Amino acid sequence: MSTATTHSNNKPSWRGGTTKQSANRIPKLRFNEFEGDWNTKKIGEIYRVNAGGDINENHVSQIKTEKYQYPIYANAKKEKGFYAYSDIYNVEPNTITISGRGAHLGIAHARDHRFYPIVRLLVLKPLNDEDIHFSECAINRLNLFIESTGVPQLTAPQISGYKISFPSLPEQQKIAAFLSAVDEKIQQLTKKKALLEQYKKGVMQQLFSGKLRFKDENGNPYPDWEEKRLGEVGKIVSGLTYSPDDINEEGVLVLRSSNVHGRQVTFDDNVYVNIVDNKFNPVEENDILICVRNGSKRLIGKNALIKGKAIGVAFGAFMTVYRSSSNLFLFHYFDTVDYKKEVHKNLGATINSINGSDLKKFMIPYPSQPEQQKIANYLSAIDKKIETVNTQIEKTQHFKKGLLQQLFV
């Protein structure tokens, strides 16, 4: 076999099978020192599969102590199935758990510590020398199909019947270690993003409370802040009313609540509408698009700053645009606790909505324009760092997804 490029021993290289018979059991991406077909066996031939059981509530604590130190796992997603702590355990390290019921049915996790499994949690113990982290990835690639007339669930006999392909133990370990390094990179980036978000939140509290102030280029303080209403600073622009009959793929894009995610405009769920003579209020650069009516109360008030390809399109009647010369500053204020409290206070009694007249009455802190600019620039710089880290996370996750497709049979 030959490699397409030269690689170090720590990185896999592109390799393929030499015959039709063996091609199905050789991965496309492989470390140089390994050869030969992978084996395919039923999970029940590799692992002993048992189900979790009940635990006496006298052995359960929500707080970890010297006595209650063993995790209890169930089918919950929190902390990879974490439920509580126990002072007893019945599973030794080097096992895999698989959720047997619920939204995350079939998801496997390698466990290298003692724990107690409960509810419909399946526990897999290796019958021979197997790398549990390799098997975790192999099992999570399975397309599990559960036939059930009631609540979908996995049983020990069902999971035992599924087949996975696996190489020698040294190759399993090398693949698992390589993927663990990728996971560690994702975890580091995720932690970095969380720290930046936490830092920004703290800075915002200091800035908008006036405890932290900027100074001008001569080192002098800026004028005291005023308090104004949104209606004094800018204006409200109403959205487009349309009916289902107006929806047409050849029409104008209409931004809705589903186009706002993470305080950014996204284009994953678009609606296009025929508009007579193209008469509508287009969004402009630096407009703030606000959700003012929605079936879900928690979505009221969410907002995004209009940039890039969102400029010039329409927006629906359940949305509002706020337009002012202070929007770059106000967009950050619209992410504060004070703004969210104002939104909640003005929600309709029977309908989850804020009308334009109430929105105009929202009280806002209002520094001088030069200080607004400095605050906006500072917070936007943090946002840019967060966005950069988030892009790195997404790229690394995509890289891992590609590895999983190529490293396994």
Look over the chain and give the mean of its residue pLDDT values, rounded to a whole number: 90
pLDDT band at 238 (very low <50, low <70, confident <90, very high): very high
pLDDT (average), residues 7-15: 58
At 4 the pLDDT is: 34
pLDDT band at 153 (very low <50, low <70, confident <90, very high): confident
Nearest residue to 118 (alpha-carbon basis) of 99, 93, 136: 99
Query: What is d(CA 392, CA 381) in angstroms, rounded to the nearest whole number?
Result: 17
What is the percent of the chain with per-residue pLDDT over 90, rounded to a whole number?
Answer: 77
The per-residue pLDDT for range 352-384, each reduced to its tens digit, is 888 889 999 999 999 999 999 999 999 999 999
- Distance from chain centroid for Cα 77: 14
Contacts of 364 (CB under 8 A, 6+ apart): 227, 228, 229, 230, 233, 330, 333
At 277 the pLDDT is: 79
pLDDT (average), residues 118-137: 94
pLDDT band at 120 (very low <50, low <70, confident <90, very high): confident
Within a 13 Å sphere around the CA of 97, how many CA atoms are in the beta-carbon half? 30
The per-residue pLDDT for range 334-349, each reduced to its tens digit, is 999 999 999 988 786 6
At 105 the pLDDT is: 86
Tell me the backbone φ, ψ of residue 243, rounded to 5 degrees.
Answer: -110, 165
The per-residue pLDDT for range 297-334, each reduced to its tens digit, is 889 999 999 999 999 999 999 999 999 999 999 999 99
pLDDT band at 146 (very low <50, low <70, confident <90, very high): low
> Residue 75 above 80 pLDDT?
no
Contact yes or no for 123/78 (Cβ under 8 A): no
Nearest residue to 87 (alpha-carbon basis) of 57, 121, 112, 123: 57
The per-residue pLDDT for range 182-216, each reduced to its tens digit, is 999 999 999 999 999 999 999 999 999 989 999 99
| Structural tokens at position 407 | 């490293």
pLDDT (average), residues 251-279: 92
> Residue 18 above 60 pLDDT?
no
Contact yes or no for 62/85 (Cβ under 8 A): yes
At 316 the pLDDT is: 95
> Residue 162 above 90 pLDDT?
yes
pLDDT (average), residues 13-17: 55
Contact yes or no for 169/131 (Cβ under 8 A): yes
pLDDT (average), residues 267-275: 93
At 24 the pLDDT is: 64
Query: What is d(CA 206, CA 236) in angstroms, rounded to the nearest whole number?
Result: 29
Which position has the higher pLDDT, 21 or 238?
238
Relative to beta strand 95-99, strand 82-86 is unpaired
Domains in the chain, please, with CATH?
39-164 (3.90.220.20), 226-366 (3.90.220.20)
pLDDT band at 15 (very low <50, low <70, confident <90, very high): low
At 233 the pLDDT is: 96
Q: At what angle do helices 369-407 and 169-208 cross, to 10 degrees?
A: 170
